[in-house]
Amino acid sequence: MDDTDEPRAWTHHGTRRGPDLRLFQVRFDDLENPRTGEVLERLVLETPDWVNVVALTPERDVVLVRQWRFGSRSNTLEIPGGMVDPGEEHRAAAERELREESGYTAQSWRYLGSVLPNPAIHDNRLHMWLAEGCRPGGPPELDPGEDIQVLTLPLAEVLEAATDGRIEHSLVLCALMRVAGLRTPGTGAPGSV
């Protein structure tokens, strides 16, 4: 496949606002399919960018949070993360979310990049961070809608949990995949950050 075979951009003919659902602002775009010429209404959920943090202690354990997720109606094993507040830089949001959800702070930060969480309907990005030298800095500062258990596990065990199904959150898996792909200079070993 060459570049000429790629799908073309759809022409935008208008936008209507839908309901504001606190975390999401509904938007309906009228878009023309370049293949057929038909104008179709497409749903977009506008939402702030998100962050998540792979937080490593000096012992190379990963700081994890276990919390009840309303959508899946289950407890999930995750890394700290959340929404970027209006006007906030994503690194500042990562630092804040790590502190609020786990009580940990970090000595150093490394940006792991970003992904599109669900480009079919979301307009935002997830920014992933590696925080190293993490230590407890105080108690978590949980929101009223949170009930979180904080735990640490060795990095190798967390990477195993990512492959055997114990960690199911797709955005957590993205960040762990980035960390697993890092190489320590001189060792070449994957996941040996």
- Residue pair 26/45 in contact (Cβ under 8 Å)? The answer is yes
The arithmetic mean of pLDDT across residues 3-9, rounded, is 84
Q: Delineate the domains of the chain, giving CATH numbers in brackets.
A: 3-46 (no CATH), 50-180 (3.90.79.10)
Look up residue 152 and give its two tokens: 């640490």
Euclidean distance between CA atoms 79 and 5, whole angstroms: 39
User: Model confidence over 66-86: pLDDT tens digits?
Assistant: 999 999 999 999 999 999 999
Rounded to two decimals, the pTM is 0.90
CB 176 within 8 A of CB 167: yes
Q: Which amino acid is at 110?
A: R
Instruction: Indicate the length of the chain as a whole number.
Output: 193
Inform me whether the pLDDT recorded for 111 exceeds 50.
yes
* pLDDT at position 7: 93
> What residue spans of the chain are helical by DSSP H?
90-102, 155-164, 170-180
Tens of pLDDT, residues 25-70:
999 999 999 999 999 999 999 999 999 999 999 999 999 999 999 9
> What is the per-residue pLDDT for 145?
87
